[in-house]
Amino acid sequence: SKPITKICCIGAGYVGGPTMAVIAQKCPHIQVTVVDLNQARISAWNDPDTNNIPVYEPGLSEVVAEARGRNLFFSTEVDEAIAGAEMIFISVNTPTKTYGSGKGMAADLKYIELCARQIARVSKTDKIIVEKSTLPVRTAEAVKSILQNTGNGVQFQILSNPEFLAEGTAVEDLHAPDRILIGGDTTEEGQQAIAALVEVYANWVPTDRILTTNLWSSELSKLTANAFLAQRVSSINALSELCERTGADVSEVARSIGTDSRIGPKFLNASVGFGGSCFQKDILNLVYIARSYGLQQVADYWEQVIIMNDHQKRRFATNIVRTLYNTVSGKKIAFLGWAFKKDTNDTRESAAIYVADDLLNEQANITVYDPKVGEAQIQYDLNYLATRSAEQNKELVTVITDPYETCKDAHAIAIMTEWDEFKTYDWQRIYDNMIKPAFLFDGRNVVDKKKLTDIGFKVYTIGK
Ligand code: NAI
């Protein structure tokens, strides 16, 4: 098969942007065009100052600066980019359905279908279609059916190539992935398509890290990986509550079990609960698929991971209210962090949103500081829940760009994201400006509990 010279990627989001930037960086001989319907997003990717690109990831602006204009392009000309490419990545969003059957559980595949129809309409030459988005197992079948019924003689091969990057370390993960997974048809044409994509990655990834499977294994592996990762968080979080009652320390328990090589040390931090656009959506999707095959026990088993996570978020909020003498009405609570984890500006499904919502129901006033998230996004996140009017959210929640101002005159601080800078604040100064007793609820176990207790804070950490 001919080597690939032109790639198009549909969707310039948290996955499409960084993955394509790294492919372009590592494959100067391939022209990579990332397209999106969202004009504002494309304009931001094209901002002359690469510090203003729409996705914040350590090291990303440098990669974009290196490749953009050379062999990396961002555009809204979707048809043109599709027509010119030999390989098309689909990286559009696949959110949980908010309507109709499967509402709140199934993945909404309307954006995927729109892409497939657009590709079918525009293509005049043979193409390899790569599913980069996370999709329910057997989606490739639907994509194939749409593409193969165009009647214009164009040949399509569908590959599944799920993305395993973690936000916050996307560039690092893309430069040195644990593995690349490529699923395709077992036919000769399918195997050739797989080989063409392997060749792209082989420009920087050792070939023994490039795994190939059939389509369905690849699609299902991504859902499985996220389910296992989220399960570890819910498992340690479940134990954190028991630690709090028994005098055990969840960090000590995590270290003790993590040294067992069968368990491993990573991803065992207790917290206020996982967030991000993927874990919840992908598990709900897995649960939905299992139920649709009548596998009730399988579905219930994985659903418990979500139930535990919701419980962890809720009990964090409840603990704040209880500790503050059973009322937070009219009290100022300062949130440090809003992003779902450190080193990203992504707030989707962030625990902070749900904890804030609970506290607002108790009539708290909330101030928020996050180093990478601004006021518009924070108000958007709260309004999206539709618990109260936008005017009320604006009245009750104030976003401040200085952490010391944020905490001034607060009854309590809630640390919602594990940003490194929180460790090095002048905590004495923060304490001096708070209402006493000064409470601190550390949802990420980032601060030095002893040091802050010595200053005078009443510190609550998770699982201790
Ligand atoms: P995103 O929402 O940041 O980006 C998706 C982009 O696709 C948006 O900019 C949207 O305007 C664009 N889009 C939608 N329909 C389009 C169309 N028909 N034509 C052109 N553009 C269109 O989503 P994100 O986070 O990049 O996720 C994409 C997929 O990757 C999802 O399936 C997600 O599950 C998966 N994924 C996400 C990871 C993450 O860390 N965010 C990691 C691994 C997989």
333: domain CATH number is 3.40.50.720
Residue at 1 is within a domain: no
Q: Which residue's entry shows tokens 């022209």?
A: 31
- Taking the centre of ligand 1 as the mean of its atom positions, its distance from the CA of residue 206, in whole angstroms, is 27
My answer on whether 105 and 72 are in the same domain is: yes
My answer on whether 331 and 272 are in the same domain is: no
Looking from the CA of residue 15, the nearest atom of ligand 1 is: 26
Looking from the CA of residue 38, the nearest atom of ligand 1 is: 11
Q: How many helices (H) and strands (E) does the chain have?
A: 18, 14
Interatomic CA distance for residues 108 and 94, integer angstroms = 6
My answer on whether 317 and 439 are in the same domain is: yes
Query: What pLDDT is attached to residue 148?
Result: 87
Angle formed by the axes of helices 16-26 and 60-67, to 10°? 50
List of residues 6+ apart from 40 with CB closer than 8 A: none
My answer on whether 246 and 331 are in the same domain is: no
Q: What's the pTM value of the predicted model, to 2 decimals?
A: 0.95
Give the domain CATH number at 256. 1.10.1040.10
Q: Which two tokens stand for residue 237?
A: 């979080």
ipTM of the complex: 0.98
Looking from the CA of residue 133, the nearest atom of ligand 1 is: 32
Catalytic member of 27, 243, 278, 407: 278
Residue at 366 is within a domain: yes
The reply to whether 8 belongs to the active site is: no
First-to-last alpha carbon distance for the chain, in angstroms, is: 59
Interatomic CA distance for residues 237 and 303, integer angstroms = 15
- Taking the centre of ligand 1 as the mean of its atom positions, its distance from the CA of residue 36, in whole angstroms, is 10
Provide the domain count of the chain: 3
Protein residue with its CA nearest to atom 41 in ligand 1:
14
My answer on whether 251 and 385 are in the same domain is: no
My answer on whether 382 and 452 are in the same domain is: yes
My answer on whether 152 and 245 are in the same domain is: no
* Ramachandran sector of residue 175 (left: φ over 0; alpha: ψ -120 to 50; beta: rest): alpha
Residue at 217 is within a domain: no
- Taking the centre of ligand 1 as the mean of its atom positions, its distance from the CA of residue 14, in whole angstroms, is 7
Residue at 215 is within a domain: no
Residue at 107 is within a domain: yes
C-alpha distances (whole Å) from 302 to each of 96, 140, 230 are: 16, 24, 10
Q: Which residue's entry shows tokens 């990986």?
A: 225
My answer on whether 59 and 141 are in the same domain is: yes
My answer on whether 255 and 371 are in the same domain is: no
Instruction: Give the mutation target among 36, 88, 92, 226 for probing the ligand 1 site: most ligand atoms within 8 A of CB.
Output: 92
* Pocket-forming residues, ligand 1, beta carbon under 6 Å: 10-16, 35-38, 41, 78, 91-94, 111, 114-115, 133-134, 163, 165, 167, 277-278
Residue at 274 is within a domain: yes
Query: What pLDDT is attached to residue 197?
Result: 98
Give the range of the structural domain holding residue 397, as residue numbers without chain letter.
311-461
Residue at 270 is within a domain: yes
My answer on whether 322 and 449 are in the same domain is: yes
Interatomic CA distance for residues 212 and 215, integer angstroms = 9
Query: What pLDDT is attached to residue 152?
Result: 80
Give pLDDT < 70 ranges for the chain. 1
User: Of 205, 239, 266, which residue is a domain's last?
Assistant: 205
- Residue 265's CB: how many other CB atoms inside 10 A? 12
Residue at 183 is within a domain: yes
My answer on whether 233 and 121 are in the same domain is: no
Instruction: Give the mutation target among 14, 109, 134 for probing the ligand 1 site: most ligand atoms within 8 A of CB.
Output: 14
Interatomic CA distance for residues 59 and 39, integer angstroms = 24
User: Of 259, 288, 306, which residue is a domain's last?
Assistant: 306
- Taking the centre of ligand 1 as the mean of its atom positions, its distance from the CA of residue 305, in whole angstroms, is 24
User: Of 244, 274, 306, which residue is a domain's last?
Assistant: 306
My answer on whether 254 and 363 are in the same domain is: no
